[in-house]
């Protein structure tokens, strides 16, 4: 029996040994698989962590670039700032190249390409701003800063943040995958140990004490770490375990600390970005001009606080209103066509002046400049720009022009007045010569009439403003002057026209006055004053923008008289033909019974029919 017991003991020990070897082999294989998967998880975690470190470094550099951009406007020597911007740009390019070799997921490479594109666009905008600033064009550089560089920086930072979030998500996913592998391995190991428990009570007790419980405790702690990470508690757990090295649990604690540092860095980056945005907002609020942004329908999506000082409205009151809502109706109609034509070409708005209504009803003149902005696909999103209040400048300019016009009117009237006085002196001298030399009296009288006609013109200019002479005033004055010189009464029918008074162009006034004076003098000279009602008669009528002057006197035209062919003309009518303009005037002579009728038609360009002259008339 003792032999049987010994054999049974040896058999049991042998069977136990075989089972032990079998269980140990299975256990060895499972532990090998666990170690392999654990090594893969550690490699993925390490890779994703390094990628996050690189993207955090890139985010910090883009924030520093934003601060350098604003320093350009606040330092005297801009060269060190430009060199720092260039160095950081090259460092970001090196980070992009390093990340391109490390990223193996499609989403990450797509986001990395987007960051590279945004970075190139931002550097282009910064180059333009720096160039304008270096050229001394501070206003243009400020507009380029507000319209392009700052938005491009914001888009670049948003792209870097998105890439960072993507890599953080991959790191979390790798950690969870590692935890899943560990839990699967634990379940398989439990099954193997339970299968061997029937024949290896002592070995299973040893295994439970030496392997299962520590492993279970480690997995529980790993699960607790993942839950803490998911709950945002990134620095909790026993200090002794947080300080251990090697193994999955240590890797999990390393990941916990890494994520904590990453979130801390991200928080610091967001605080820096918020501080940069506040600094930019403060810069906008220090400008005297109002900054605005509109959508493609020209509706305000942003207005700086200066709008309350300029137009009397708070910025939030005008959000959603359009460019044209604050304009007078006629101005809104004019500006709608201009601005929509600019928007159709996606062109820039450059120093466009327009009237707006203040809240109190006053008119405010704004000078508007802006540029379009687009999304990443090139689709127009709206316009951004500045409005400058130039009301005082326009009023000062109008006052200056009015004062200059008044001064010119005064000087011109004084010059004409002095010319008239000098011509009157010449007239007196001619009269004395005619009295002293009776034989030359006809020639002197003709010259006297012509000089007096010119004096009449200068006398009219000495009384009016804006250097305008009306046709009816000129005709009446000339008739009175001829009547005074000849002593022959001239009947006048020269009413003020009902369709708007006719104005004579300044450069045609003297010639027209000499022509009319010669015709009136000729009518007086040849009139038969002994017949009742046979004296000269002058009639002015109007059709549209043309004037018709009829001069009637008793008499007969010579048989060989032909004014159009220049036959039978005396020296006076020869002068009339010589003075007639190429266009705008015609003269017809005809016999009407016992009377001679001369009809003078006067129209443009002898008469001024421009909008300003019509408004004056």
Residue in 609, 129, 125, 14 with CA at minimum distance from that of residue 374:
125
What is the band of 288 on the pLDDT scale with cuts at 50, 70, 90? confident
Contacts 24+ apart (CB under 8 A), 192-200: 192/23, 192/26, 192/27, 192/30, 193/23, 193/27, 195/23, 196/19, 196/20, 196/22, 196/23, 199/15, 199/16, 199/19, 200/16, 200/19, 200/20, 200/23
Mean per-residue pLDDT over the chain, rounded: 75
User: Taking the mean position of all CA atoms in its chain, how far away is CA 561?
Assistant: 71
Where are the domains positioned within the chain? 36-282, 287-389, 491-617
Give the mean pLDDT of 461-469: 55
Does residue 602 register a pLDDT over 90?
Answer: yes
Domain 491-617 carries which CATH code? 3.30.565.10
> So what's the pLDDT on residue 197?
61
Least trusted range by pLDDT, from 18-22, 230-234, 421-425: 230-234
Strands 503-504 and 491-493: unpaired
* Residue bearing the bigger pLDDT, 572 or 599: 599
> So what's the pLDDT on residue 256?
61
Does residue 601 register a pLDDT over 50?
Answer: yes
Does residue 71 register a pLDDT over 50?
Answer: yes
> So what's the pLDDT on residue 232?
55
Does residue 530 register a pLDDT over 90?
Answer: no
Task: Please give the model's pTM, rounded to 2 decimal places.
Answer: 0.35
Does residue 248 register a pLDDT over 60?
Answer: no
What is the band of 381 on the pLDDT scale with cuts at 50, 70, 90? very high
**Alpha carbons 340 and 296: distance in angstroms, whole number:** 10
Give the mean pLDDT of 263-292: 67
Q: Which residues contact 298 (CB under 8 A, 6 or more apart)?
A: 322, 323, 324, 339, 343, 383
Does residue 444 register a pLDDT over 60?
Answer: yes
Give the mean pLDDT of 259-272: 70
Does residue 405 register a pLDDT over 70?
Answer: no
> So what's the pLDDT on residue 163?
76
> So what's the pLDDT on residue 6?
44
Give the mean pLDDT of 84-101: 81
Give the mean pLDDT of 194-199: 63
What is the band of 162 on the pLDDT scale with cuts at 50, 70, 90? confident
Give the mean pLDDT of 564-572: 80
**Alpha carbons 51 and 57: distance in angstroms, whole number:** 10
* Residue bearing the bigger pLDDT, 207 or 5: 207
> So what's the pLDDT on residue 1?
36
Give the mean pLDDT of 481-505: 79
Strands 537-543 and 503-504: unpaired
> So what's the pLDDT on residue 204?
58
Least trusted range by pLDDT, from 37-41, 45-49, 235-239, 342-346: 235-239
- The burial of 165, by beta-carbon neighbours within 10 Å (0-12 exposed, 13-18 middle, 19 or more buried), is given as middle
* Residue bearing the bigger pLDDT, 97 or 539: 539
Least trusted range by pLDDT, from 15-19, 353-357, 484-488: 15-19
> So what's the pLDDT on residue 23?
64
287-389 matches 491-617 in fold: no
What is the band of 570 on the pLDDT scale with cuts at 50, 70, 90? confident
Give the mean pLDDT of 4-14: 48
- Fold of the domain built from segment(s) 287-389: Beta-Lactamase (3.30.450)
At 397, list the tokens: 């300019």
């Amino acid at each position: 029996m003792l032999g049987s017991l010994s054999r049974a003991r040896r058999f049991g020990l042998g069977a136990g040994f075989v089972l032990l070897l079998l269980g140990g082999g299975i256990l060895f294989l499972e532990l090998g698989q666990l170690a392999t998967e654990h090594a893969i998880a550690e490699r993925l975690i390490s890779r994703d962590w390094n990628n996050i470190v690189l993207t955090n470094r890139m985010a910090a550099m883009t924030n520093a670039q934003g601060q350098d951009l604003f320093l350009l406007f606040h330092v005297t020597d801009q060269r060190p700032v430009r060199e720092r911007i260039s160095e950081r740009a090259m460092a970001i390019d090196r980070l992009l190249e390093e990340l391109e070799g490390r990223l193996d997921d499609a989403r990450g490479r797509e986001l990395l390409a987007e960051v590279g594109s945004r970075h190139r666009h931002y550097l282009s905008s910064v180059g333009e701003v720096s160039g304008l600033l270096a050229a001394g064009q501070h206003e243009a550089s400020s507009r380029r800063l507000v319209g392009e560089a700052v938005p491009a920086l914001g888009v670049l930072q948003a792209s870097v943040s998105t890439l960072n979030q993507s890599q953080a998500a991959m790191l979390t996913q790798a950690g969870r995958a590692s935890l899943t592998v560990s839990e699967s391995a634990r379940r398989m190991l439990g099954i193997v140990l339970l299968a061997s428990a029937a024949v290896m009570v002592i070995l299973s007790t040893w295994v439970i004490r030496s392997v299962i419980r520590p492993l279970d405790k480690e997995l529980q702690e790993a699960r607790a770490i993942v839950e803490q990470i998911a709950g945002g508690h990134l620095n909790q757990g026993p200090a002794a375990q947080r300080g251990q090295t090697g193994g999955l649990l240590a890797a999990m604690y390393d990941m916990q600390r890494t994520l904590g540092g990453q979130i801390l860095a991200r928080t610091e980056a967001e605080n820096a970005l918020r501080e940069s945005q506040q600094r930019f907002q403060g810069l906008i609020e220090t400008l005297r001009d109002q900054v605005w942004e509109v959508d493609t329908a020209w509706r305000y999506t942003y207005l700086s606080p200066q709008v309350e000082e300029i137009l009397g409205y708070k910025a939030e009151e005008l959000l959603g209103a359009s460019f044209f809502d604050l304009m007078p109706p006629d101005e809104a109609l004019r500006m709608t066509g201009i601005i929509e034509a600019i928007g159709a070409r996606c062109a820039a708005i450059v120093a466009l002046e327009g009237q707006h209504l203040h809240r109190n009803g006053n008119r405010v003149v704004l000078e508007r400049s802006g540029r379009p902005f687009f999304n990443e696909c090139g689709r127009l999103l709206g316009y951004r720009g500045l409005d400058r209040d130039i009301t005082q400048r326009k009023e000062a300019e109008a006052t200056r022009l009015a004062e200059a016009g008044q001064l010119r009117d005064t000087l011109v009237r004084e010059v004409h007045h002095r010319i008239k006085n000098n011509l009157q002196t010449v007239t007196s001298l001619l009269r004395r010569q005619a009295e002293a030399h009776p034989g030359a009296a006809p020639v002197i009288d003709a010259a006297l009439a012509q000089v007096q006609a010119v004096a009449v013109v200068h006398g009219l200019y000495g009384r009016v403003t804006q250097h305008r002479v009306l046709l009816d005033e000129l005709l009446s004055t000339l008739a009175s002057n001829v009547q005074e010189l000849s002593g022959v009464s001239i009947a006048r029918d020269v009413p003020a026209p009902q369709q708007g008074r006719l104005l004579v162009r300044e450069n045609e006034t003297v010639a027209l006055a000499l022509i009319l004076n010669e015709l009136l003098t000729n009518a007086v000279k040849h009139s038969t004053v002994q017949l009742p009602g046979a004296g000269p008669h002058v009639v002015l009528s109007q059709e549209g923008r043309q004037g018709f002057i009829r001069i009637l006197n008793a008499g007969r035209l010579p048989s060989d008289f032909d004014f159009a062919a220049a036959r039978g003309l005396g020296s006076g009518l020869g002068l009339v033909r010589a003075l007639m303009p190429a266009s705008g005037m015609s003269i017809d002579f005809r016999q009407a019974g016992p009377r001679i009728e001369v009809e003078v038609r006067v129209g443009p360009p002898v008469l001024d029919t421009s909008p300003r002259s019509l408004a004056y008339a």
